[in-house]
Amino acid sequence: MPAWLPGAADQLVDADDSVRDPGLTVMRGWLLAGGGDVAQAIEVLGPVASGAVNSCSYWPLWPCWMGLFFEIGTAGANGAFSEVVVQVAELAATRNPGVASFEGVALSLRGRAKGDLPMIAKGAKVLALSPRPILRAYGADVCGRALLADGQRDQALELLDGAWDDYHRMAARVYRDAVQHAMREAGTRRSKWSAAATRPESGWASLTAAERRIALLIADGHSNRSAAGALGVSINTVGTHLRMVFSELGVQSRVQLANAVNRGETTATRK
């Protein structure tokens, strides 16, 4: 972790509540946990989690946060906080019946809390239907590790391999590398790991093939919706890839992206 990140958490304290809560509060907790101060992270995140039970807002119930909260609670050996997180995930699933992202996270977290492998596996199957790559990867990651612990190596490695691919496509390197470590500890290797290690971390060469296609479509004036239609993927998938394109090309807008492409800062050719 860069040395400035823990300090960045403290700089969020004076932000206006209407802006900071809950998004920046979650960010502050995440940064504290990443810096090793798990107890303080739980203290910061506790009000967000407990307040979500009575919230009518979407953000405190956002499924992508629930897994993060649970991991922090587990790392801090704080069963009470973890249980609140599971209850919030289940509440969100109840309020959003049939939505894979909510139902899958609730199943996965309750399964982990109970040590119920079939429930964890069901959560992974439901999350595989989510339009959010991070949740698909999370479900496979959690289930794969649980299967490894249960001695079901082949099925576990298949799921972890899929999680690695999803994390890699999102450039979620910390999670990808953690999965890679788990697979290595299980006695397996993949040739794609070496290729990933040599990929540049920024610039056009750092983008995946899917990210390059989306970058070219957006540079040509497509909206997220029309790009999704052209590629046969969801709008959420386009949005995820586009955020990575902006980050790795160092641009902040579609205009800057188009200018970068038109100046020839990529080696891509349009087909």
Instruction: Name the residue among 252, 258, 250, 157 with its Cα closest to residue 214.
Output: 258
Instruction: Name the residue among 116, 28, 100 with its Cα closest to residue 63.
Output: 100
Count Cα neighbours of 3 within 13 Å in the Cβ-side half-sphere.
Answer: 0
pLDDT band at 264 (very low <50, low <70, confident <90, very high): low
Average pLDDT estimate for 114-127: 98
What is the C-alpha separation between 7 and 216, in angstroms, rounded?
A: 37
Average pLDDT estimate for 170-191: 89
Whether the pTM exceeds 0.95: the reply is no
Residue 19 has pLDDT above 50, yes or no: no
Q: What share of the chain is helix, strand, coil (3-state, %, to 5)?
A: 75, 0, 25
46-79 pLDDT tens trace: 888 887 766 656 555 678 889 989 999 999 999 9
pLDDT band at 18 (very low <50, low <70, confident <90, very high): very low
Average pLDDT estimate for 229-241: 85
Amino acid in position 47: P
Which of the 8 DSSP states describes residue 59?
A: G
Give me the residue label for tokens 């090309």: 249
- Tally Cβ neighbours within 10 Å of residue 223: 13
124-173 pLDDT tens trace: 999 999 999 999 999 999 999 999 999 999 999 999 999 999 998 887 88
Those residues whose C-beta lies under 8 Å from the C-beta of residue 89, and which sit 6 or more positions away, are 63, 66, 102, 105, 106, 109, 110
204-224 pLDDT tens trace: 877 777 888 899 999 999 999
What is the separation of C-alpha 10 from the centre of its chain, rounded to a whole number of angstroms? 23
pLDDT at 59: 58
